[in-house]
Structure formats: C-alpha cells, structure tokens
Amino acid sequence: MEVAPLSCPGSPDAAPCGLLCLPPVRRKALLLFAMLFLCLYLFYAGSCASLHPGVLLQGPEDSKGRAGLLARLLLLRPPLEVPQDRTPSPEPPDEADYPEPREPGPLSSFYNGAGSRKLPQALIIGVKKGGTRALLEFLRVHPDIRAVGAEPHFFDRNYDKGFSWYRDLMPRTLDGQITMEKTPSYFVTKEAPARISAMAKDAKLIVVVRDPVTRAISDYTQTLSKRPDIPTFENLTFKNRTTGLIDTSWSAIQIGIYAKHLENWLQYFPMNQILFVSGERLITDPSGELGRVQDFLGLKRIITDKHFYFNKTKGFPCLKKAEGSSKPHCLGKTKGRTHPNIDQEVVQRLREFYRPFNLKFYQMTGHNFGWD
C-alpha cells in the first residue's frame, strides 16, 4: 500500500504536523495498526450482535483487554453460536413471503460448517409410492427441518454398518432443528421397529398411505418402466386367476396390507408417535396435511397454502420454490408414465381383497381414509 507523501518538517506547510511527522516506516506501521483496530471494531460491532448474549457481555469486561477479545472473536467464537438467533419469525409469513431457496453461497457454506450431525428424531418410514418424496421436499421448506436427500436404507439394508455410519449421512443441525430421513421400505421391514426403537424410543414416525389398489398399480408401473419384460399385473396378482386367489407374497400387494404392518410397529411404538398422512390429501390439500405434520413434529406452522400452487395441466400441487433450487417442485412428476390398462375385474377383486384390511387400519388409526 502506498502512503501519499505528507507534509514533513522542512516543507512549507510544516506547521501543525503532529503524528504525520513520523518517518515513513513508522507511519505505515501506525496506519496498519489503526486499520487493525478499525477492522476489529467493525468486526466486533457488526458480528457480535449475532453472538450469544453471554459472549457479548463478557467481551468488553475482559481483563486481558483487546488481545483477549481478539482471541475470543477469532478462536473461541463457536460457529454454533451464530445461528442461534435464527429463530423463526414470530408471525406467519406474509403474502408473497416465500422461503428463499437455500442456495449454496459463502454464508450458507459457513452455516453448513456449523452444528453437528445427529441421529434422526423423525423418520418418514413409508410407504413406497405413497408420496413420501413429495412430503419430504415440502417439509424441507421448514427452517427447523434438515433432511437427508437420499434414502439411507439403514434399518433394512445397512444396519450392520453401525450408527456412526448412519449419523455421518445426516446433515448438520443446530439446536432446535429436527434431523429427518425417509426410507419407505422401513414400514414393511420386520426388524425396523425394534431397531428404530433401539436408536430412539421417542422417535417420531410418519407414514404416507394411499389407496392400496392405486398404490399397487403405481408400484407395478414403476417396476415395469425399469424392466419391461416382467409378467402382466394380472399374472402377478393372482396365484390362480380362476379361483381369484391373490398372491399376497407379491410385494406390490403385500405393502398395501397396512393393518398387518402397523401391528408390528405397535409392538414398539405407541400410536401417538406415529402420524399417518393421506397420500390423497397431500395432493388435494397439501397445506392441510403439512399443517398436521408440523403440529406432530412440534413445529410452528410455517409451511402454509401460500407455499403451494396447483398446476392444472399436471393436476398436482407444486411448491412455489423448492428448497435449494429456484425451480418449482411438483408432486406427481412421473404422472406422464403410461399406466398399463388393467382389467376392471381385477381391480374390483383387489378392492374386495383389501377392504377388511382397510377397515381394520381405519379402526387402528382412528382415521377413515376413504378408500372404500
């Protein structure tokens, strides 16, 4: 840095030269020193507002003086402290006050280094093709929810990798934030309830359920799109088409016997720790279902109808802005997939098959999902 020549002894305008009369080297040193203090002042005044009040109070009284303060600011300032101020605003978002997408930037990469990885306190455990992805994407709008993007499959396929492997998959969270993951196969995994209970007896479980018949068809359609050589839906559904005996061992059918799977979970979790989200209502009334989920998780209702719009062409609700992107995120992304034409007789037979299980499920949950 160049210091412009200033008036010095001997020059015509030398009279009140004061500090500026120092030799250039010392002048530079002094300038640097002044800048250091200015920076320190700005840093302190600017950033300390977001520090924990305790730190703020201790700072100026520190007997070790500025050096101690500097050490505090540079070393002892725990990154964790900063976003503690990031409490949700006391009022629900105003109109047009949508959450900003959390795009990676210098600030967010700083935040990402903050907090710690925790085992999930809440899990979306099912069901496949129920709308679990949409629910998770909608929930990620909430500032107090941090969720793994991919499906960890820890409690079914990766349990032998241990809890530290599992924890390392989790995003960092700050105090008060909820860590979540979703793996839809947990709901039908025999060992999952005991294993999740061993991790956290108080874990909150969310199950997105949908009419088991449409779920089965959607499940089959997805498999068919990956493996076009599989037998027809009818062939897989029946053990014997003539007698109408249904093959309950076929996963597409088996997953929809919700009452049976739920019994397994109730051996380990009380009903009030399990929330059932209607996959149908998630489409017709996303903000209503999201309201129930936020209540269940003990969170403020931040996600409201203002976050959604309905795409009439698609026939599905979309998030105005999805978390981490500026593009809308819609339910029913794969709606374009052509469903195979399924014999209405087969559909009727399946409805009959599921009816008693559905009624049992309504009784157990105290909620009529209206599939019959």
Residue 118 assigned ligand-binding role? no
Q: How far apart are CA 298 and CA 272, in angstroms?
A: 13
Q: Find the shortest distance in angstroms from Cβ 235 to ligand NAG.
A: 4
Residue 241 assigned ligand-binding role? no
Catalytic residue among 28, 64, 118, 129: 129
Contact positions with ligand NAG (CB under 6 A) in 214-233: 231-232
Give the DSSP H/E element, type plus range, for residue 163.
helix 163-169
Q: Find the shortest distance in angstroms from Cβ 241 to ligand NAG.
A: 5
Residue 130 assigned ligand-binding role? yes
Give the DSSP H/E element, type plus range, for residue 371.
none
- Binding residues for ligand NAG, how many (CB under 6 A)? 12
Please check whether residue 347 is in contact with residue 206, taking contact to mean a CB–CB distance below 8 angstroms: no
Q: Is 320 in the site for ligand NAG (CB under 6 A)?
A: no
Q: Which two tokens stand for residue 164?
A: 């530290």
Q: How far apart are CA 109 and CA 246, in angstroms?
A: 53
Q: Is 355 in the site for ligand NAG (CB under 6 A)?
A: no
Q: Find the shortest distance in angstroms from Cβ 228 to ligand NAG.
A: 11
Q: Which two tokens stand for residue 183?
A: 């793996």
Binding test (CB under 6 A) with ligand NAG, winner from 52, 328, 360, 362: 328
> What's the N-to-C CA distance of the chain in angstroms?
80
Binding mask 181-220 for ligand NAG (x = CB under 6 A): ----------------------------------------
Q: Find the shortest distance in angstroms from Cβ 42 to ligand NAG.
A: 44
Q: Which two tokens stand for residue 368?
A: 């009529």
- Residue 91 vs 229, nearer CB to ligand NAG: 229
- Residue 164 vs 313, nearer CB to ligand NAG: 313
> Beta-strand (E) ranges in the chain?
116-117, 122-126, 145-147, 172-173, 178-182, 204-209, 238-240, 245-246, 274-278, 308-311, 316-319, 329-330
Active site residue 129: yes
Per CB under 6 A, residues contacting ligand NAG are 231-232, 235, 240-243, 311, 313-314, 318, 328
